[in-house]
Amino acid sequence: REGDIKYSYADISKSKNIIGYLPTIDLSTLPTTGLILIVKFYEKIVFHCFSYSTSVLKKITEKKGYVSFSLNILRKKEEIITSLKNCPLECLLLETDSPYMKIGNRDSFPYDIKEVYSFVADLKSIEKKELEEKIFYNTKRLFNI
């Protein structure tokens, strides 16, 4: 099964200390009980394009997992914005998910990350430069750079 293959690859990578492969999770296909097991099992984990509740966020951040928010924050759905507000800076990553995520009716591009950073800096009431430095630090820590 596809899920088994993904986890097997992650297990091999983990056991061989292969840098560059970290498990990413599509929460839409995973019940909360599976999420809890995965968070407990992996030392480092990233939840890509996060769009779930603060209760799920808390389970991830309690284990020092990383949560990556994307252009989806610009849609301003209450659940996503609440999770973003509650996400600790030390667990936060930002992305565009381009070209897959649309902004309104237009395609997205890597340069749209500027909008993501501006929105998050305003929402969290911090300087954009400080946010950039924190995300850069988190990225280096995540990939052992």
Question: pLDDT digit string (tens) for 101-145?
Answer: 888 888 999 999 999 999 999 999 999 999 999 999 999 998 888
Position 105 scores a pLDDT of 87
Q: How many domains does the chain have?
A: 1
The CATH number assigned to the domain holding 54 equals 3.20.20.140
In 10 A of CB 26, how many CB atoms?
Answer: 11
Residue 137 and residue 131: Cα distance in Å, rounded? Answer: 10
Cis bond leading into 31, ω under 30°?
A: no
Residue 89 has pLDDT above 90, yes or no: yes
Beta bridge partners of residue 92, listed in sequence order: 67
The domain of 136 spans 2-142
pLDDT category at 15 given cuts 50, 70, 90 is: low
Position 36 scores a pLDDT of 61
